[in-house]
Amino acid sequence: MISSMPTLHDAYTARARIRSLIRKTPLLDAAVLARKTGARGVVFKPECLQNTGSFKIRGAANKILSLGDAEKKTGVITFSTGNHGKAVAHVAHTLGIPAVVCLSEHVAPYRAERIQALGAEVVRWGRSQDDAEAHYHEMKAARGLIPVVPFDDPIIIAGQATIALEIVADLPEIQVLLVPLSGGGLLAGMALAAKAINPAIHVVGISLKRSPAMLESLKAGRPVAVEEKDSIADSLLGGIGTTNRYTLPLVEKYVDEHLLVSEDEIKDGMFSVFETHRLIIEGAAAVTVGALLHQKIDVRKKMVGVLLSGSSIDSKAYLSIIQGGLDGEERKKSDLEAPRPVRKGIP
């Protein structure tokens, strides 16, 4: 199996292949966060500004562009919590390839609508990401469609690895990378590319306290299913797949450290990025900032790269989180301004 693992060379190949479908996102200076954490510098890599609203288009484009003509004609199928589905729908539509996206009923309606609007056939099935995946397997067999899985595929992983190539090219002195972790395509790809270029880069994966599927699997030494709960970071829900072949061993091999964040810490991350950069990020993207704000890692004197992985969030949910953040600021201010109780002197 080792010979089919993705490599740095695959990442460079991906970069050339997907160039016309993606944007090279900039690095943004996060000076306030650097000051708060004592870091030498913090930069955001805002994949929330990427085409289709998340980095997922990198892997999806790399995979679909690498298919043969006959496969492209047949059409592709996938399952998703939203962003991968959007990316597949958009790339397939752009290239004139039919696409089917299986979503569980748990995936928010606005995401299903967006995927449909991008020209894919959306199939709703079951209550969890695992249910949607089971249905995907049935439809794939029944209709002979070509699979474009969300993370456990060397070509998808090589696509996500292009993010690390861009960061290191723009800022060779980068020392720490903070990356959200769910199925692990993103983290595995970025870690393998970063380490191949500079083994001293400290690569950190950040999982949901609520459903850390990859961490449980690393502990067990095999893929472990976790119960799917609701989370503000809904793009991080779902397991790593019972037949995982790539992301589990790659994360095990290349990732230096793992952190867990709570729902409130994620909300703090979203609010902070809105306040400092006026950028809208989804919960899954905010795990990195939440971890830094709550000092889960010591980055003093380090040059830190923080991935903001996507922007896909329901407007109402987003506004209520920002309002919650503003209310919290107000409370803090009024606590500071509250008149001190005056002690009456004893005569």
Ligand X SMILES: *Cc1c(COP(=O)(O)O)cnc(C)c1O
**Cβ at position 185, least distance to ligand X in Å:** 3
Binds ligand X by CB under 6 A, chosen from 135, 224, 282, 321: 282
159 contributes a contact to ligand X by CB under 6 A: no
180 contributes a contact to ligand X by CB under 6 A: yes
C-beta of 78 vs 235, nearer to ligand X: 235
Q: How far is CA 320 from the centre of its chain?
A: 22
Which window, 27-35, 64-72, 111-119, 179-187, contacts ligand X (CB under 6 A)? 179-187
310 contributes a contact to ligand X by CB under 6 A: yes
183 contributes a contact to ligand X by CB under 6 A: yes
C-beta of 33 vs 248, nearer to ligand X: 248
Which window, 36-44, 117-125, 279-287, 325-333, contacts ligand X (CB under 6 A)? 279-287
Distance separating alpha carbons of residues 156 and 250, to the nearest angstrom? 13
* Helix ranges restricted to H, the chain: 8-18, 31-37, 56-65, 69-74, 83-95, 109-117, 129-143, 154-170, 185-197, 213-220, 247-254, 263-277, 283-293, 315-337
186 contributes a contact to ligand X by CB under 6 A: yes
Residues 284-303 that bind ligand X (CB under 6 A): 284-285
Classify residue 113 as exposed, middle or buried by CB count within 10 Å of its CB (0-12, 13-18, 19+): exposed
Distance separating alpha carbons of residues 202 and 194, to the nearest angstrom? 9
Q: Which two tokens stand for residue 148?
A: 């474009």
3 state DSSP class of 279: coil
187 contributes a contact to ligand X by CB under 6 A: yes
241 contributes a contact to ligand X by CB under 6 A: no
Pairing of strands 41-46, 28-29: antiparallel
Pairing of strands 99-103, 121-124: parallel
49 contributes a contact to ligand X by CB under 6 A: no
Which window, 23-31, 129-137, 165-173, 174-182, contacts ligand X (CB under 6 A)? 174-182
3 state DSSP class of 304: strand
C-beta of 56 vs 302, nearer to ligand X: 56
Binds ligand X by CB under 6 A, chosen from 83, 104, 162, 211: 83
Pairing of strands 303-308, 176-180: parallel
C-beta of 34 vs 285, nearer to ligand X: 285
185 contributes a contact to ligand X by CB under 6 A: yes
C-beta of 48 vs 174, nearer to ligand X: 48
Rg of the chain's alpha carbons, rounded to an integer? 21
Q: Which residues sit at the interface with ligand X, rule CB under 6 A? A: 54, 56, 83, 151, 180-187, 235-236, 282, 284-285, 309-310
